[in-house]
């Protein structure tokens, strides 16, 4: 009988790196990092539900369930898990509890990411790569408000962790929860499971549980989407997506480039560009290596992450709208930098990006000034721009300031709509 692997150490082939975790003090840095992040996130979570109108639609879904005993999806896709969790948390503890759930899921996602990285790199590098994601303003905003963007990230990261622990059935269920939290994570779950398959050639005893994981992933996704299917009149209309063609094809391309750049902030993007040029030979060798000639788990993981990165970018190219659609890209890029064989350069790249992310939250060095020329009800984007070098308020500062406008309008609108059912929504701004 073939002896089956027992842990992710077999998958990543890095027992030596993991043993270092208990020897070097760097292993404790993650708890300091997560503690600092928790304090910052918790403070930011005291400022209300957030500026995104989907938050209030999800709360409306919960109140429809209570008042009318019927499911009304918040959007035509419908996201059952965050709709229920955010709605119930808001019902019990207002925005304090619903935001706290987001904070908990965000911290959990970062810790799981760190645990995965420690299997391929030194603890200090893993801490810094985790900090790259945790310090990005476009990750922080959904992490401290009641949006649904951190829900699929948490379920997917936990699913990947369990997959690499050969706990396939639990991984399949976690991937299904990620799909229910955001439909676009369906192909990402399939990518993770597919790239694990070649590894089974060395461990045939795992195949039964592996295919059970696939089955639970498919059945779980279908079950969690059945309410949306029936709410849409038993059609698959929920598989569509919104579109915005303001500016035509050129406008879509311009927004795709601009938002990919400003996901990081201009200075941090320049660091990433320099990193890619400097390390191009290493990444090219990784891309060209054939993992199926001699199956190696690290190469399979690399190709899976690369495929997920390309998939996320392709999807964003179809609708370059919310920066948070690119959250998977944050994790992928941090992983790529952690793979660089020179640890000194790893630390330099990652440290610079963390520092620039923190600055980006407060001050934004911009080279383009965007504006809106069309009617607000005709476009969901800025549809004009001029080249202009300027220092603007940072992403977090801007989001906080906008709370006094958007959050007030959204809470007043929702409270008016639901004035005969449930307590009114609080708005500390």
Distance of alpha carbon 147 from alpha carbon 58, whole angstroms: 9
Q: Which domain holds residue 24?
A: 8-238+246-417
Residue 424, domain member (yes or no): no
Each residue's pLDDT tens digit, 175-224: 999 999 999 999 999 999 999 998 888 888 999 999 999 999 999 999 99
Comparing CA positions, the residue from 147, 24, 138 lying closest to residue 406 is 147
**Helices 343-362 and 123-134 sit at what angle, rounded to 10 degrees?**
20
Count of structural domains within the chain = 1
Residue 425, domain member (yes or no): no
Residue 426, domain member (yes or no): no
Residue 389, domain member (yes or no): yes
Burial 152-162 (b: 16+ CB within 10 A, else e): bbbbbbbbbbb
Comparing CA positions, the residue from 255, 259, 263, 256 lying closest to residue 356 is 263
**Which two structure tokens, joined as six digits, stand for 421?**
């059912």
- The full DSSP string for 91-130 is HHHHHHHHHHHHHHHHHHHHHHHHHHHTTTS-HHHHHHHH
Q: Say what percent of the chain tops pLDDT 70.
A: 86
Q: How confident is the model at residue 411 (pLDDT cuts 50, 70, 90)?
A: very high
What is the pTM for the complete model shown? Answer: 0.90
Average pLDDT, the chain: 87
Q: How confident is the model at residue 414 (pLDDT cuts 50, 70, 90)?
A: very high
Residue 282, domain member (yes or no): yes
Residue 2, domain member (yes or no): no
**Helices 408-417 and 53-68 sit at what angle, rounded to 10 degrees?**
20
Contact indicator for 332, 326 with CB cutoff of 8 Å = no
pLDDT at 378 over 70: no
Residue 429, domain member (yes or no): no
Residue 3, domain member (yes or no): no
**What's the pLDDT score for residue 22?**
39
Distance of alpha carbon 139 from alpha carbon 107, whole angstroms: 11
Distance of alpha carbon 263 from alpha carbon 266, whole angstroms: 9
Across the range 165-171, mean pLDDT stands at 95
């Amino acid at each position: 009988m073939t002896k089956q692997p027992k842990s992710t150490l077999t998958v990543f082939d890095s027992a030596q790196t993991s043993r270092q975790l208990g020897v070097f003090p760097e292993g404790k840095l993650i708890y300091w990092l997560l503690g600092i992040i928790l304090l910052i996130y918790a403070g930011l979570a005291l400022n209300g539900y957030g500026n995104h109108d989907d938050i209030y639609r999800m709360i409306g879904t919960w109140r429809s369930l209570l008042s009318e005993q019927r499911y009304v999806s918040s959007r035509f896709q419908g996201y059952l898990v965050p709709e229920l969790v955010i709605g119930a948390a808001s019902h019990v503890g207002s925005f304090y509890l619903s935001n706290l759930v987001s904070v908990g899921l965000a911290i959990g996602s970062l810790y799981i990411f760190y645990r995965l990285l420690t299997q391929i790199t030194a603890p200090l590098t893993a801490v810094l790569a985790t900090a790259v994601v945790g310090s990005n303003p476009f990750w922080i905003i959904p992490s401290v408000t009641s949006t649904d963007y951190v829900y699929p990230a948490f379920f997917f990261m936990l699913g990947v962790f369990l997959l690499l622990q050969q706990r396939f059935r639990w991984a399949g269920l976690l991937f299904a929860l990620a799909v229910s939290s955001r439909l676009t994570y369906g192909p990402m779950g399939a990518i993770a499971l597919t790239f694990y398959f070649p590894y089974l050639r060395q461990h045939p005893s795992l195949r039964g549980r592996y295919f059970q994981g696939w089955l639970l992933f498919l059945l779980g996704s279908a079950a969690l989407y059945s309410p949306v299917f029936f709410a849409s009149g038993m059609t698959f209309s929920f598989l569509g997506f919104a579109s915005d063609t303001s500016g035509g094809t050129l406008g879509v391309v311009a927004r795709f480039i601009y938002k990919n750049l400003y996901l990081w902030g201009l200075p941090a993007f320049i660091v990433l560009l320099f990193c890619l040029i400097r390390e191009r030979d290493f990444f090219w060798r990784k891309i060209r290596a054939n993992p199926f000639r001699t199956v190696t788990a690290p190469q399979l993981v690399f190709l899976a992450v690369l495929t997920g990165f390309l998939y996320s970018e392709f999807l964003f190219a179809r609708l370059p709208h919310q920066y948070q659609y690119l959250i998977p890209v944050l994790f992928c890029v941090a992983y790529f930098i952690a793979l660089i064989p020179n640890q000194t350069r790893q630390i330099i790249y990652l440290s610079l990006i963390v520092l620039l992310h923190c600055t980006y939250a407060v001050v934004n060095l911009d080279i383009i000034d965007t504006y809106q020329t069309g009617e607000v009800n005709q476009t969901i984007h800025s549809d004009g721009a001029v080249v202009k070098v300027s220092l603007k308020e940072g992403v977090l500062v801007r989001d906080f300031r906008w709370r006094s406008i958007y959050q007030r309008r959204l809470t007043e609108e929702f409270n008016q709509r639901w004035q005969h059912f449930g307590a009114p929504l609080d708005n500390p701004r």
